[in-house]
């Protein structure tokens, strides 16, 4: 485990300067310094020198029930070492982002919130999160994890887990991994499977699960600049997008995809042996393990000839822009959450690959399933966290449904209409 005082150091003068940015505590703690004027928001945070004493400070953290125990363990060590008080508040993960965004401006939000990197665009737009300086510790994380929490050149979170979808294969039915989508469909037909592949669609579509197939046609949702940051320019138009749209329509007609196959039905089809192939994420592993299936985790086979690149989602901890104690909050995250034991505990409750490389190495060495997901992550791309992403999902999903179901007769026009609608919303 990392020494909990081995974080980035900086001068006492910097500590004093940062302390002057503190404001009234949203978590009910006692501010250690006077509140700043409204024109000086607390937006810069950094770790404190060894031996800091946070007596009288309370940090409030919002988390869900699943991650509570691991965070509680880190909090106990932090309280013992620094004399701070840490209050954990459990929230519904599906509602946390909206509640947090509404609470922070009123002074009722927490100092720290646990969430996904793709929340960043909206949180930054609303001014409710502060940058975090990881310093030398940044290099201890898997690069994609830090990249995902980087926005306009600044890091806004301490990552703890990476997740992505992959192809889960029932090795008793399919001993070898398919090289392409067509190979997989052919293998399913040879097995006379009731379902060619368990890939959830539902009546609203599912662009997230279909994204690796779309990228295999060279049609990314948004284009990226030279630094890898996403731009507002839509990248899934033109011939690559048209080719993917035509492919969706053809797969629907062939019966390889069906809009009636929602998430629960897809999982049941795989667990019941109705298919040997299941495209899903680590969140499905618990039920698969309970069913006693022998599985392997493989790269998602390409449908369009290019590598199939799924979205990578990164979970992490973010500091409120209104926290009264940003120094203590960052110290807790960088020196107590970013440790092997805590990241391993978080991995054990979520099956997501740890973001800290040393913790990931230990997990992958003992778990071939986790290693399989990590291998697929090598080709994954961070889900865009730009605010414009919110304009994409509904049109994207509905268009996929129209193509798969056959209600969209002119596939290229349907795709172009989708892009035009998205561009109009983005402005």
- Return the CATH number at 63: 3.40.190.10
**Integer Cα distance of 373 and 284 in angstroms:** 12
Tokens describing residue 324: 């009264």
Examine residue 203 and state whether it is found in any structural domain, yes or no.
Answer: yes
Residues 112 and 249 in one domain: no
Tokens describing residue 345: 């505990």
Q: What is the pLDDT of residue 401?
A: 97
Residues 117 and 29 in one domain: yes
Residues 48 and 194 in one domain: no
Residues 301 and 289 in one domain: yes
Residue range 147-187, pLDDT digits in tens = 899 988 899 999 999 999 999 999 999 999 999 999 999 99
Examine residue 4 and state whether it is found in any structural domain, yes or no.
Answer: no
Examine residue 5 and state whether it is found in any structural domain, yes or no.
Answer: no
Residues 273 and 420 in one domain: yes
Residues 152 and 292 in one domain: no
Examine residue 6 and state whether it is found in any structural domain, yes or no.
Answer: no
Q: What is the pLDDT of residue 50?
A: 59
Look at strands 277-280 and 129-130 and give their pairing. Answer: unpaired
Residues 132 and 231 in one domain: no
Examine residue 74 and state whether it is found in any structural domain, yes or no.
Answer: yes
Q: What is the pLDDT of residue 31?
A: 32
Residues spanned by the domain of 304? 166-309+392-426
Residues 422 and 273 in one domain: yes
pTM of the complete model: 0.78
Examine residue 97 and state whether it is found in any structural domain, yes or no.
Answer: yes
Residues 182 and 233 in one domain: yes
Residue 279 DSSP SS3: strand
Examine residue 387 and state whether it is found in any structural domain, yes or no.
Answer: no
CB atoms under 10 Å from CB of 179, counted, come to 12
Residues 152 and 170 in one domain: no
Residues 158 and 290 in one domain: no
Q: What is the pLDDT of residue 15?
A: 32
Which residue positions in the chain have pLDDT lower than 50? Answer: 1-48
Residues 171 and 293 in one domain: yes
Domain count, the chain: 2
**Integer Cα distance of 182 and 175 in angstroms:** 17
Examine residue 415 and state whether it is found in any structural domain, yes or no.
Answer: yes
Q: What is the pLDDT of residue 49?
A: 54
Q: What is the pLDDT of residue 52?
A: 83
Q: Are 349 and 174 in contact (CB under 8 A)?
A: no
């Amino acid at each position: 485990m990392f020494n909990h005082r081995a974080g980035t150091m900086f001068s006492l003068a910097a500590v004093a300067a940062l302390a002057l940015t503190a404001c009234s505590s949203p978590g009910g703690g006692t501010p250690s310094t006077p509140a700043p004027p409204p024109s000086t928001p607390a937006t810069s945070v950094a770790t404190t020198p060894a031996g800091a004493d946070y007596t009288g400070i309370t940090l409030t953290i919002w988390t869900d029930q699943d991650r509570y125990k691991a965070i509680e363990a880190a909090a106990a060590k932090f309280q013992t070492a620094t004399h701070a008080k840490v209050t954990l508040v459990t929230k519904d993960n599906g509602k946390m982002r909206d509640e947090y965004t509404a609470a922070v401006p009123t002074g009722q939000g927490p100092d720290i919130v646990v969430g996904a990197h793709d929340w960043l665009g909206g949180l930054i737009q609303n001014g409710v999160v502060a940058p975090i300086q990881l310093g030398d510790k940044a290099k201890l994380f898997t690069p994609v994890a830090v990249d995902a929490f980087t926005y306009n050149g600044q890091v806004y979170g301490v990552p703890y887990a990476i997740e992505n979808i992959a192809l889960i294969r029932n090795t008793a039915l399919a001993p070898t991994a398919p090289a392409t989508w067509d190979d997989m469909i052919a293998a399913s037909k040879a097995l006379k499977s009731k379902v060619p592949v368990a890939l959830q669609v539902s009546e609203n579509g599912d662009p997230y699960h279909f994204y690796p197939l779309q990228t295999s046609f060279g049609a990314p949702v948004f284009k990226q600049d030279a630094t890898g940051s996403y731009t507002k320019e839509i990248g899934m138009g033109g011939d690559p997008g048209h080719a993917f749209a035509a492919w969706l329509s053809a797969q629907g007609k062939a019966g390889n995809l069906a809009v009636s196959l929602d998430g629960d039905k897809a999982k049941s089809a795989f667990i019941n042996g109705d298919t040997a192939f299941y495209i899903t994420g680590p969140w499905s592993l618990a039920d698969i393990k309970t069913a006693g299936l022998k599985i392997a985790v493989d790269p998602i086979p390409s449908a369009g000839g290019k590598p199939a690149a799924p979205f990578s989602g990164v979970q992490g901890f973010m500091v409120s822009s209104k926290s009264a104690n940003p120094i203590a909050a960052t110290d807790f995250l960088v020196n107590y959450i970013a440790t092997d034991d805590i990241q391993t505990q978080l991995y054990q409750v979520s099956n997501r690959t740890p973001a800290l490389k040393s913790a990931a190495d230990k997990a992958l060495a003992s778990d071939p399933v986790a290693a399989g997901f990590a291998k697929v992550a090598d080709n994954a791309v961070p889900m865009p966290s730009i605010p414009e992403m919110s304009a994409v999902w509904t049109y994207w999903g509905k268009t996929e449904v129209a193509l798969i179901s056959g209600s969209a007769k002119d596939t290229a026009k349907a795709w172009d209409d989708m892009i035009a609608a998205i561009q109009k919303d983005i402005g």
